[in-house]
Amino acid sequence: MAEDSPAELYVYRNNQRLRCGHTTGSCATAAAKAAAIMLFSGVPLTEVSILTPKGTCLTLPVLDVKISEHNVSCAIQKDGGDDIDVTHGALVYAEVSLVDEGIIIDGGLGVGRVTKKGLDQPVGQVAINSVPRQMITNALNEVCAEYDYHRGLQVIISVPEGVRLAEKTFNPRLGIVGGISIIGTTGIVEPMSQEALVETIRTEMKMRLANGSRVILAVPGNYGEDFSKTICTVPAEEVVKCSNFVGETIDSAAEFGASGLLFIANIGKFVKVAGGIMNTHSRQADARLEILAANAAVAGADHDTLLRVMQAVTTEDALAILHEKGLLAEVMALITEKVDFYLRNRAQDRLKIGAIIFSSVYGKLGETKDAEDLLHQLEAGGA
């Protein structure tokens, strides 16, 4: 990453210069720090600096300052850089007031609350994730030390547009109600354009074929790569990481003359392919639980089971329900059949294609008709 100024950060992807942004967690931290400084000093700020977990110093404009005797509020505008999402441009507010002890962090209007288990925060807590909470705490402790203050502060984070914005996210489905989440692990949003990612996949695939491979092994990410090591001896450097771009990977393999393509993929990604979804990024489509529930219904699941599957937080949670009901094997047979259909439909007889689908908990869940033959070819050197 190159730094042009405290507020202008860039990364370079495939010779493209892409502007970074900052997370909602960084916005909340900066707003909280600015509000605390103004609470102690009584002097309005126009900008504030924070250090992100990535080690980058951000200096951000402070907006909509309101100073009273007992509390101060202000806002920081979310900037997604060249990786714009639904929260880009939203104002993240912090209202800071004095309390007897500790740093108390809570959420106001537009920040959701957790209603289901399995997320970063426990049920009932405001959806401000662990890293932003620590960032806010560190920033406020820094201000308290600077002003020799030894009691406590309460900060309430709010996003007035959050209720509306949350409708465009998966928060309601995850059991986060009433607004968006305050998230971010590095504090910085580093963009990666879709075109750059696809070009990287194409380049890697061309290299494999140019070096004598005829069958390509593709995995969406690290989980697939790790699982592939348990079922085959293909070296890690020979595996193509296709990210979410299932359709583009198939098209590229056919375009470059591969004779076969085998995916080894986690069910969390590839269950979407059973619904004909060829870009598995959550921004493009989800439907994981709907696809599982539909196939569970075909397998004879009762209404209560279907309802529990639809209310599951994660794919693995849904698999646990199906396993409990003795339906997992039958449902996965149906899912695998559908995956096979849609992969073949995209490939259009241009190459042999297959998939091996696994779970982090239950291991291999299914394989399509040609998967075993493709795996044998890969074991033999991809000839």
Q: How far apart are CA 50 and CA 54, in angstroms?
A: 11
Provide the token pair at 179.
């607004």
Provide the token pair at 75.
């806002």
Q: Is the dihedral of CA 138, 144, 148, 154 positive or negative?
A: negative
User: Where do you find CATH 3.30.2110.10 in the chain?
Assistant: 23-185
Question: Within 10 A of 383 (CB to CB), how many other CB atoms are there?
Answer: 10
Question: Within 10 A of 174 (CB to CB), how many other CB atoms are there?
Answer: 18
Beta carbons of 158 and 93 less than 8 angstroms apart? yes
Distances (CA, A) of 238 to 189, 196, 352: 30, 20, 18
Question: Can you give the pTM of this predicted structure?
Answer: 0.63
Predicted local confidence at residue 8, as pLDDT: 65
Lateral strand order in the sheet of 8-13: 2-5, 8-13, 16-19
* pLDDT tens for the chain, residues 1 to 383: 334 333 467 666 556 677 888 999 999 999 999 999 999 999 999 999 999 998 999 999 999 999 998 999 999 999 988 877 889 999 999 999 999 999 999 999 999 999 887 778 999 999 999 999 999 999 999 999 999 999 999 999 999 999 999 998 878 867 899 999 999 888 988 776 576 678 878 888 887 888 788 999 999 988 898 999 999 988 887 899 899 999 999 999 999 999 999 999 999 999 999 999 999 988 788 899 999 999 999 999 999 999 999 999 899 999 999 999 999 999 999 999 999 999 999 999 999 999 999 999 999 999 999 999 999 999 887 54
Q: How far apart are CA 383 and CA 215, in angstroms?
A: 7
Predicted local confidence at residue 193, as pLDDT: 54
Beta carbons of 197 and 126 less than 8 angstroms apart? no
Predicted local confidence at residue 4, as pLDDT: 39
- Its CATH class, for the domain covering 23-185, is alpha beta
The residue assigned the tokens 């007035």 is 160
